[in-house]
Structure 1
Amino acid sequence: MSIRHGLLALLDQGPRYGYQLRTEFEARTGSTWPLNVGQVYTTLGRLERDGLVESAGEDDEGHQFYAVTEEGRAELRRWFDSPVPRTSPPRDELAIKLAMAVTVPGVDVAAVVQGQRRHSMKALQDYTRLKGRALAADSDPDGGSSNDLAWLLVLEQLIFQTEAEIRWLDHCEARLGRHAERLAAAEPAAPADAPPARRVVKGRARGRL
């Protein structure tokens, strides 16, 4: 997620100070990716260093305002015009967890998959309920706000992402089952006429009188 470009998008609509930026960012994304004020000001400092924003004075309460520069607007337009690259996908904790689980002895990978599926199904139900509320707000006869539409788009992305995760977990479970079957088939079977193993007690064999 590009907090950097998200703040530029907000500043493109006029000067703002840090707390305002945090509040508006969370309002437009439904607090899906909460920010803290320190993170906002750290990002603003880097944007100012790079010439993308500049100080725009203070109000009577001492709030430091920032405004986007022309270079910042150009950077924002490049961001909107360019697709999000998939050459370096973000680290996915679930994928890393399963990759590690199948290589660590003693881990019940099937239980990991089933536990995650239960969690993801509950999340999907929660997102679906929230979508119902967002749809009601967006279809308000008085006209939904752009923030309502933004939140609806974010929710639908979360729903599609969670549905895809559940399908992937189903696929993982099926693949784990096939892998276990191949391992079982590869184990050498004991000869049908092999004598039963004798039990040894204190160094002597049992089974003969």
Structure 2
Amino acid sequence: MLYVERHHGYELKLEMDSLLGMKGKVNPGQIYTTLDRLIRDELVSSPGLDDQDRKLFELEQKGKDQVEKWLLEPVPYHSTKDDFFFKWNCSRRIGFQDEDKMLQNQKEVILKGVMELTSAKTEALMKGDENTYLWMSGLLLHLEADLNWIMQVENRIR
């Protein structure tokens, strides 16, 4: 990333894709739009071109300070904004008759996710990719918590 060394836009796109992992890919146009804003805000500069005539970007000290500040900010936990919880809450409000089926369908999706993540986690471990392994472990813990919550709901409505 720019925090460590200069890069051109495509290298940044590849790095972002790698960081996002299974969450998705970055639109290349978004990289350049963001870089333009960061240059405008004097967080990034462009010292010139590399040996293949690609525009280089580097992080200014003000930008490094912002990255460090951002890294230290905790990420809020939004358990009440969870999409399924909201949907389930709506179903309760209207007295939805197929609540059991709704819960069962969600459990199936979660179990499928657990199986896929377990496989990916094992693959990451075999490749020695510690970051991905730990990330997958965290995702699995969240899925397990969601599954436990659904089972608790099922036990309460019986």
TM-score of the pair, normalised by structure 2: 0.84
Q: Which has the higher helix share?
A: 2
Aligned to 2:127: 137
> Measured at CA, do residues 90 and 79 of structure 1 come closer, stay the same or move farther in structure 2, by a change above 3 Å?
farther
In the alignment, does 2:139 pair up with 1:158?
Answer: yes
**Which of these two proteins has the greater Rg computed from alpha carbons?**
1
Aligned to 1:32: 23
Q: RMSD of aligned C-alpha atoms?
A: 2.3
Q: CA-to-partner distance for each residue in 1:111-150, whole Å, 9 max, x for gaps? A: 1111010011011011111111111111xxxxxxxxx222
Distance 1:24 1:152 in 2: 18
Distance 2:60 2:20 in 1: 24
Which amino acid is the alignment partner of residue 16 of structure 1? H
Distance 2:76 2:28 in 1: 28
- Percent identity over the alignment is 29
The alignment of Structure 1 onto Structure 2 pairs a total of residues equal to 158
Unaligned runs of 5+ in 2: none
Unaligned runs of 5+ in 1: 1-9, 139-147, 178-209
Question: Deviation at 1:105?
Answer: 4.9
1:53–1:67 Cα contact (<8 Å) kept: yes
Distance 1:28 1:167 in 2: 29
In the alignment, does 2:99 pair up with 1:109?
Answer: yes
What secondary structure is seen at the aligned counterpart in 2 of 1:102?
helix
Moved over 4 A (4+): none
1:28–1:151 Cα contact (<8 Å) kept: no
1:101–1:109 Cα contact (<8 Å) kept: yes
